Structure 1
C-alpha cells in the first residue's frame, strides 16, 4: 500500500495565514496554499513474488 505523508503542523500554519489574510483584507475570495507531501511506498506495494509458493 502506498500512502502520503504531510506535515500537519505546516498545514495548520498555512491555513491560519490564509485565514488572517482574508480577515485583514476583508476578502471573501478563495485562496490556496501548497504544502509539500512525501509519497511513502510500503513493502506491500508491487507485483507479487512469483517464486513464492501459493497457498491453495
Structure 2
C-alpha cells in the first residue's frame, strides 16, 4: 500500500486495504472515500470505491 497524500488511514482502513491486497480485490465498499481514494494498492492501479457516488 502506497499513500500518495499526508492523509492517514485508521487501523480499520489499513486492515481493509491489507485484506483487499491479499485477496486481489479491486472493489471496496466504503463511505470513507477520502482515505481510500489516496491509496495505490500493490496489485492494481487503484481501488474502485463503491457505492459510486458520481
Would the TM-score normalized by the shorter structure come out above 0.5?
no
| Greater Cα radius of gyration, structure 1 or 2 | 1
TM-score by length of structure 1 reads 0.34
Kindly indicate whether structure 1 or structure 2 has the higher relative contact order, using CA contacts under 8 Å at least 6 residues apart: 1
